[in-house]
Amino acid sequence: MNPSEFPFLPTSSEDMRKLGWNELDIVLITGDCYIDHPSFGTAIIGRLLQSLGYRVGIIAQPDWTDPASLQIMGQPRLCCGVSSGNLDSMVNIYTAARRLRKSDAYSEGGETGKRPPHAEIVYSQLARRAFPGKTVFLGGVGASLRRVAHYDYWQDKLRPSVLLDSKADILVFGMGENPVTEIVSRLETGKPLRGIRGTAAVMGKNEAENFSSSGYVELPSWEEMQNDRDALLRCTVLIEQEMNPCNARGLIQRYGERLLVVEPPAIPLSTEELDNIYDLPFTNLPHPKYKKAIPAFETIKHSIPAVRGCPGGCSFCGLVAHQGRSIRSRSQASILREAERIAQQQNFKGTISDIGGAAGNIYNSGPVDAEKCVKCRRISCLFPAPCPNYQAEGEELIRLLRKVREIPGVKHVHINSGIRLDLAVKQRKLMRELIFNHVSGHLKVAPEHLHPKVLKLMRKNPAEDFYEFLKIFAEDSEAAGKKQYLIPLFISNFPGCTEKEMKTVDDFLNRHNWSPQQVQDYIPLPMTMGAAMYYCGKTADGEIIPVNRGLAERRPQMEVLKKQRRGGQAPPAKRRSDRRSRRFSKLQKRG
């Protein structure tokens, strides 16, 4: 059987026989089900390496207590790659209250218990036992956010770089295509795995003594961070200053006699390189061994990833630390090809559920003059005020959406990635296009909070953008003759937010009779400024701020968002009467 007859990467010896393979070059281990779709990092890395001529197998959700579960396809010739999956494993397993989640969107049937806590560590140690002598590399968002010493919210303590606990040879941070390709190429030719952009490695005593740290920024050592709580804040500030690939320096962090070396971030892929990635022969389906639905796949199966990166740099979000703030967009031709492929799928009902990325209104945005970005060390293009060199007028997205709507078989094109409000209020033409043609009935927005003090700590712009967008949305929805609703996301218990500040959100929701459908209690993600503020009880400037830590302290703010209010926005299955819909439209116009 050739690859066209069995189009998936193998997950078993039976799959290998179908492909006529008797050995693998590379094994990729993931905490998610294997879904051959470019929204899943393991699938992208697997397809990329396959395109370079390597025989790649995927072991999804192995039994982490048994090394034999990794040996089902034999020993890989070159190396083994490890990822916790599309989410940090601790976020996947535990809630903000540190309780087990009731479902796992990345597992068959939503079943829990398919991955271990700190999956990168467990899988890597297991791979060491299963494949002695083989190179093990870490990757994915979990590894990215744990590449240096960090605060782990679920264990409520500092942890060293995940490299030290996992015993892996090298860590890939960021999106990873070029670093992984370089690692495999060097293994093939016997070259050392040092100095690769977008990677981190730990050096032993002898190598560390001979290492030249010239050009590297030294972070607080592991010992310093254990003795001085505020060292995490200083560490995070230094890391954020070195996130721009155009001017970033490498980082070093000492662990006794050992040395962690973090190379500068990899250069983001160009539009042409992105197009090549998304043109790889993905089936856009879960592996046929799965018989039950996989919730995460059901959500994205008819969506199109169009953008990488985020210009926001919010202090609670790990996206900039992983993808960077430089926006990289696919070409219109690439997206149109994918839309045409989706339209030809047997299970396609006519609706493309999303074309987006970190936000639904950042496609083809970026600097007017790219040379000015070369020296820039801002963590955000939009906060505390939008950079005058950043443009996001939205004309290219309008043209793209109109072309996708013309594809035979496509009835609807929705934007479900969420809208950046600070850009939306300046994109009047684009918003009218979206509200008239691309809202599924509900549109996601993320004001996050409404109090100016908390918004500043979050690195979000003033709430006036949200109030203005309420009016825009109501007016354009009415002009379009449609009953459409906003789904706002608010965060409770962010560091510095007391019940006094949360009352601003409560008053707004009461005034508008609004019960949010999406509620998020704050989770400090590793390596973010928000996590450092939570751990230290201070801002980056040293200002002492209140922090709610235990469930008893956090519950009052959580109840503000969970409170059921009469009227307001309703879920699709329980729409209110026309009279209440008209009433809510009036409330939105008032802001």
pLDDT at res. 4: 61
Query: Is residue 187 helix, strand or coil?
Result: helix
Q: What is the pLDDT of residues 124-135, one digit of tens each?
A: 999 999 999 999
SS3 string, 61-124, reads CCCCCCHHHHCCCCCCCCEEEEECCCCCHHHHHECCCCCECCCCCCCHHHCCCCCCCCHHHHHH
Helical ranges in 146-176 per DSSP H:
162-166
Phi/psi region, residue 21 (left: phi>0; alpha: psi -120 to 50; beta: rest), is beta
Over residues 178-189, the mean pLDDT reads: 98
CA distance 396 to 366: 12
Are residues 381 and 423 in contact, defined by beta-carbon separation less than 8 angstroms? no
pTM given for the model: 0.92
Over residues 370-385, the mean pLDDT reads: 92
pLDDT at res. 579: 41
Closest to 487 measured CA to CA, from 514, 515, 460, 517: 517
Q: Which token pair is 185? A: 């190429």
Beta-strand pair 250-255/258-262: antiparallel
Are residues 351 and 414 in contact, defined by beta-carbon separation less than 8 angstroms? yes
SS3 string, 409-457, reads CCCEECCCCCECHHHHCCCHHHHHHHHHHCCCCEEEEEEECCCHHHHHH
Q: Within a 13 Å sphere around the CA of 226, how many CA atoms are in the beta-carbon half?
A: 8
In DSSP notation, 360-393 reads TT-TT-EESSGGGGTT---S-SSSSS--TTEE--
What is the CATH number that goes with domain 441-591? 3.30.750.200
DSSP secondary structure letter of residue 347 = T
What is the CATH number that goes with domain 302-437? 3.30.750.210
Q: What is the pLDDT of residues 326-362, one digit of tens each?
A: 999 999 999 999 999 999 998 899 999 999 999 999 9
What is the residue extent of each domain of the chain? 13-262, 302-437, 441-591
Report whether the peptide linkage leading into residue 384 is cis, meaning its omega lies within 30 degrees of zero: yes
Q: Is the pLDDT of residue 253 over 90?
A: yes
Q: Would 302-437 and 441-591 be classified into the same CATH topology?
A: yes
Radius of gyration from C-alpha coordinates of the chain: 24
Range in 18-32, 62-76, 99-113, 562-576 the model is least confident about? 562-576
Q: What is the mean pLDDT of the chain?
A: 92
Closest to 28 measured CA to CA, from 135, 133, 149: 135
pLDDT at res. 586: 40
Q: What is the pLDDT of residues 167-176, one digit of tens each?
A: 999 999 999 9
Q: What is the pLDDT of residues 60-109, one digit of tens each?
A: 999 999 999 999 999 999 999 999 999 999 999 999 999 999 999 999 99
CA distance 62 to 430: 45
What pairs with residue 442 in β-bridges?
A: 485
Backbone φ and ψ for 347, nearest 5 degrees, come out as -90, 10
